[in-house]
């Protein structure tokens, strides 16, 4: 340490010793002022409760408030509800708080004062403090309990309302989505019913059916051609039979020739020959001729045998022979059956052609229907996906709502209940006294230094040298006279007495405050 620093320290010590009475006076005034401030400041008490946010034990669904908002966000929301105007106003009226303030200022200002005195501080994790500051420790305890209960109550109410609102919203959205989906499905159903056979999904089936019908049509056409050929053959057989009968009816044979050919002719052909022979006999002979009678009798017996009607003796006609000829009748029946079959096949052919034309129209319309169907169903998949999502969300929302109504969801619980505060948080004795002592010493020291700076006398050789610019050769020490020594001794004793008195005053003031119960360290 150099000489200049030593001189500076010595200077400050001299100033302190010279102005020690002033500094102690300021110190004493600071202590007494601090005690006065402490004694006159209203006591303020604080009570707090520890609350924990317990997560629900049941696995939360996607619609649960825990997954849509963090714990701090939920705490912020519940804090706003607990410290709202209605909530604080109810607490003030129920507990008769701020009686004097309510007489002087509006209720809104009183509520704002109380809002500032409510303490809500998160600690670690899901634990946070709920506290209240006030002059009456019992009311502070009651208000703290009420605030903690409000947190639990408002949280349950908030969660139930959120779950109910969410469930109602999802239900309304589900109904709207269902209406839109039903409308879309109805239009799709109507379109599909109207153009079912023309839909692209039916094209392969229509092509297969078309191939089948074409094969069937070809078969029908082949059958018609076959029947046409058969009909021609039957017609030829009928014509040949008619010519044969006509030949037998017009060319009568004598009896001896008839007997020769009888074995090769059928009964109808024999009957036709007998009638022709009878006709030739009646031309030459009378009815009484034996040959005429014999032939007529034979004809009658054959007609009876064949079931033909009686003959009046007129000449036989080829048409009557043809009508009665069973071969010809069978051929006619066969021809009629063929005609019926051909007509039926013609109808089948027309029906098949109609079906083929219809299938061809359906196949040709498939690309157009596909484009129209794609345009109609463009947003159906999105509507269906949205509807399925809302169905799942609705089930989850109803589950969460039921969970909250049974109060099985996440909720606040009092982890550490508030206790009756015994020590005020304000005023703080140590802080006030440290501040008062510091101010007293600072003011005393500053005043002493200020007075020393105002004093223009030289107090050491260094200051003379600096002022005159000359070196000091020697210095004469200050020799006190006996009278001066006595005066200094009296001043020192008076200072000690003053210090002791001051200390006694401070101790007395502290004891007085302690005895009155106003001093709590």
| pLDDT for residue 8 | 67
Distance (Å, whole) CA 45 – CA 132: 8
**Location of structure tokens 């079906």:** 355
**Which sign does the torsion angle of CA 277, 283, 284, 290 carry?**
positive
| pLDDT for residue 71 | 67
Count CB atoms within 10 A of the CB of residue 90. Answer: 13
Those residues with Cβ within 8 angstroms of residue 279's Cβ, 6 or more apart along the chain or in another chain? 252, 315, 316
| pLDDT for residue 409 | 53
Q: Which of 45, 46, 49 is nearest to 149 (CA)?
A: 49
Query: For each of the chain's 521 residues, which pLDDT tens digit applies?
Result: 566 676 667 767 777 777 788 888 888 888 888 888 888 888 888 888 888 877 665 554 444 444 444 667 777 888 888 888 888 998 998 888 888 888 889 989 999 999 998 988 887 777 888 889 988 889 999 999 998 888 888 777 777 777 788 888 888 888 998 898 888 888 888 888 888 888 888 889 989 998 999 999 899 899 989 988 888 888 888 788 777 766 655 444 454 444 544 445 566 667 777 777 777 777 777 777 787 778 888 888 877 777 644 344 344 444 444 445 677 778 788 888 888 998 998 999 999 999 999 988 988 988 888 888 888 888 888 888 888 988 888 887 777 667 665 555 566 777 788 888 888 888 888 888 899 888 888 888 888 778 777 766 666 666 777 777 777 777 777 677 788 778 878 888 888 898 888 889 888 888 887 887 666 66
Domains (range + CATH), the chain:
3-41+427-515 (no CATH), 45-175+399-416 (3.30.70.1130), 210-356 (no CATH)
| pLDDT for residue 212 | 92
| pLDDT for residue 248 | 54
Three-state DSSP class for 119?
Answer: strand
Check: CB of residue 81 under 8 Å from CB of residue 87: yes
Distance (Å) of CA 492 to CA 25, 210, 376, 477 = 15, 137, 112, 21
| pLDDT for residue 354 | 92
DSSP state of 200: G
**Location of structure tokens 């303030």:** 101
Q: Which of 45, 37, 41 is nearest to 509 (CA)?
A: 37
Q: Which of 185, 162, 181 is nearest to 173 (CA)?
A: 181
Distance (Å, whole) CA 432 – CA 497: 27
**Location of structure tokens 């069937």:** 216
């Amino acid at each position: 340490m150099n000489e200049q620093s030593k001189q500076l320290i010595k200077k400050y010590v001299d100033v302190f010793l010279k102005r020690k009475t002033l500094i102690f006076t300021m110190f004493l005034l600071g202590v007494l002022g601090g005690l006065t401030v402490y004694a006159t400041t209203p006591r303020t008490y604080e009570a707090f409760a520890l609350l924990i946010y317990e997560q629900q034990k049941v696995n939360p669904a996607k619609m649960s408030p825990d997954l849509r908002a963090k714990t701090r966000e939920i705490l912020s929301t519940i804090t706003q509800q607990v410290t709202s105007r209605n909530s604080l106003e109810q607490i003030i009226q129920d507990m008769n708080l701020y009686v004097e303030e309510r007489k002087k200022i509006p209720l809104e200002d009183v509520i704002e004062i109380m809002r500032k005195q409510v303490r809500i501080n998160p600690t670690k994790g899901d634990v946070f403090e709920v506290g209240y500051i006030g002059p009456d420790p019992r009311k502070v305890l009651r208000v703290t309990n009420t605030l903690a209960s409000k947190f639990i109550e408002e949280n349950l109410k908030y969660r139930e309302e959120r779950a109910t609102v969410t469930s109602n919203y999802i239900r309304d959205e589900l109904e709207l989505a269902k209406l839109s989906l039903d409308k879309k499905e109805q239009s799709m159903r109507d379109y599909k019913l109207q153009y079912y056979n023309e839909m692209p999904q039916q094209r392969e089936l229509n092509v297969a059916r078309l191939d089948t019908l074409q094969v069937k049509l070809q078969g029908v056409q082949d059958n018609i051609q076959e029947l046409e050929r058969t009909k021609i053959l039957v017609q030829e057989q009928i014509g040949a039979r008619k010519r044969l009968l006509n030949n037998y009816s017009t060319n009568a044979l004598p009896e001896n020739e008839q007997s020769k050919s009888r074995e090769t002719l059928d009964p109808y052909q024999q009957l036709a020959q007998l009638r022709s022979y009878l006709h030739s006999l009646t031309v030459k002979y009378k009815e009484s001729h034996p040959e005429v009678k014999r032939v007529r009798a034979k004809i009658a017996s054959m007609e009876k045998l064949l079931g033909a009607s009686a003959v009046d003796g007129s000449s036989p006609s080829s048409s009557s022979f043809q009508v009665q000829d069973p071969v010809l009748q069978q051929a006619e029946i066969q021809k009629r059956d063929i005609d019926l079959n051909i007509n039926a096949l013609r109808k089948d052919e027309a029906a098949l052609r109609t079906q083929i034309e219809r299938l061809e129209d359906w196949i040709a319309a498939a690309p157009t229907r596909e484009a129209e169907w794609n345009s109609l169903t463009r947003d159906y998949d999105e509507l269906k996906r949205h509807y399925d999502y809302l169905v799942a969300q609705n089930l989850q929302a109803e589950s969460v709502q039921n969970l909250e109504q049974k109060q099985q969801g996440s909720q606040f619980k009092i982890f550490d209940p508030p206790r009756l505060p015994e020590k005020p948080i304000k005023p703080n004795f140590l802080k006030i006294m440290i501040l008062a002592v510091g101010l007293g010493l600072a003011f005393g020291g500053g005043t002493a230094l200020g007075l020393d700076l105002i004093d223009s006398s030289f107090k050491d050789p260094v200051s003379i040298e600096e002022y005159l610019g000359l070196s000091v050769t020697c210095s004469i020490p200050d020799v006190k006279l006996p009278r001066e020594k006595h005066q200094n001794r009296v001043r020192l004793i008076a200072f000690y007495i003053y210090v002791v008195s001051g200390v006694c005053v401070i101790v007395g003031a502290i004891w007085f405050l302690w005895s009155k119960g106003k001093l709590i360290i």
